[in-house]
Amino acid sequence: MSTQVPDQTDEETETDAADAKSPGEVRREEKRARAAEAEADAAAEEAEAAESGKAGENTVELQVFRYDPEVEGKQEPRFDEFHVPFEKGMTVLDALIYARDHYDSSLTFRHSCRQAVCGSDALFINGSQRLGCKTQISELSAPVRVEPLPHAEVQKDLVVDMEHFYDQMEAVEPYFQTDELPDEELEEQRQSRENREKIKMSTRCIWCGACMSSCNVAAGDNEYLGPAAINKAYRFAMDEREGEEMTEKRLEILEQEHGVWRCQTQFSCTEVCPKDIPLTDHIQELKREAVKNNLKFW
């Protein structure tokens, strides 16, 4: 009887070779294939744009509010137009920076981190409060109209005075205060998972002022604490680690005439919040807490 091994087909050889590859090699091959496919798609899009005569010619029209009280001839508010070369992924802040660097170095606006964390570049864009660094040009209808936040004093161009907003935030004492500290010097101030989840969204506030600018009540009542300050008070009042005495003090501040009861539940603050904080819900919960705090049974 013959012991000769039958010849393997090409298909079987290829299968065995594939089986011999490590998982890492397979993943790397798949990654290279996806990269090559993406590069081919990009080249095809570029070739199509070049063929249609649009390569390098796409622009976005910005209509930017201008005002400078210290320069004669610029003391009357107006809108300037800038045509900025559009690139995929461009934000409103990117377009403003390009306009400032290439067309008019006197164009003034605030910005810092460019990652929707600092809250510096809150603006009124196409009729809504937004962060310039988070707002994609591609998602807006043309022309893109950029104005300073409403209901705030304009200092120059897109820069508004934030002092009143900061005063309202400080009024609720926005820092943690407790009655008891752990026995050990390096021991944690422990918090339950459930309580952390309850206050998690309220901790995301970046003090941008968009909610305050959108609030009609705040526009008509300069003493109203406003949604941002009330949310900050919520963050600490609902923290189980805060002292009872301080929690009662916060509720007393919030239930005053210009506190939570001035809110008319319009949800405008919630709609414009760039961090998706349910501001109106937090205000309503604080109203309920204020009522319960004042209930007496005898």
pLDDT (tens digit per residue) in 114-137: 999 999 999 999 999 999 999 999
CATH code that applies to domain 163-179+191-294: 1.10.1060.10
Alpha helices in 131-209, H assignment, sequence order:
163-171, 193-199
Arithmetic mean of pLDDT, 269-276: 97
pLDDT of 294 strictly over 80: no
Q: What is the pLDDT of residues 205-242, one digit of tens each?
A: 999 999 999 999 999 999 999 999 999 999 999 999 99
Arithmetic mean of pLDDT, 161-169: 96
Residue 81 contacts by C-beta under 8 Å, 6 or more apart in sequence?
A: 61, 62, 63, 64, 143
How buried is 261 (Cβ within 10 angstroms: 0-12 exposed, 13-18 middle, 19+ buried)?
middle
pLDDT of 10 strictly over 90: no
* Distance of alpha carbon 197 from alpha carbon 39, whole angstroms: 42
For residue 160, what is the enclosing H or E element?
strand 159-160
Predicted model pTM:
0.76
pLDDT of 53 strictly over 50: no
pLDDT of 50 strictly over 80: no
pLDDT of residue 40: 84
Range in 51-60, 101-110, 129-138, 208-217 with the lowest mean pLDDT? 51-60
Residue 83 contacts by C-beta under 8 Å, 6 or more apart in sequence?
A: 59, 60, 61, 62
pLDDT of residue 5: 46
Q: What are the boundaries of each domain within the chain? A: 59-160, 163-179+191-294
pLDDT of residue 48: 60
Range in 1-15, 29-43, 247-261, 263-277 with the lowest mean pLDDT? 1-15
Arithmetic mean of pLDDT, 167-188: 86
Rg of the chain (C-alpha set): 29
pLDDT of residue 228: 97
Q: Kindly indicate the confidence band of residue 65, based on its pLDDT and cuts at 50, 70 and 90.
A: very high
Q: Which fold has domain 59-160?
A: Ubiquitin-like (UB roll) (3.10.20)
Instruction: Fill in the amino acid letter for 173.
Output: E
Q: Are 210 and 130 in contact (CB under 8 A)?
A: yes
| Average pLDDT of the chain, as a whole number | 88
Percentage of residues of the chain with pLDDT beyond 90: 65
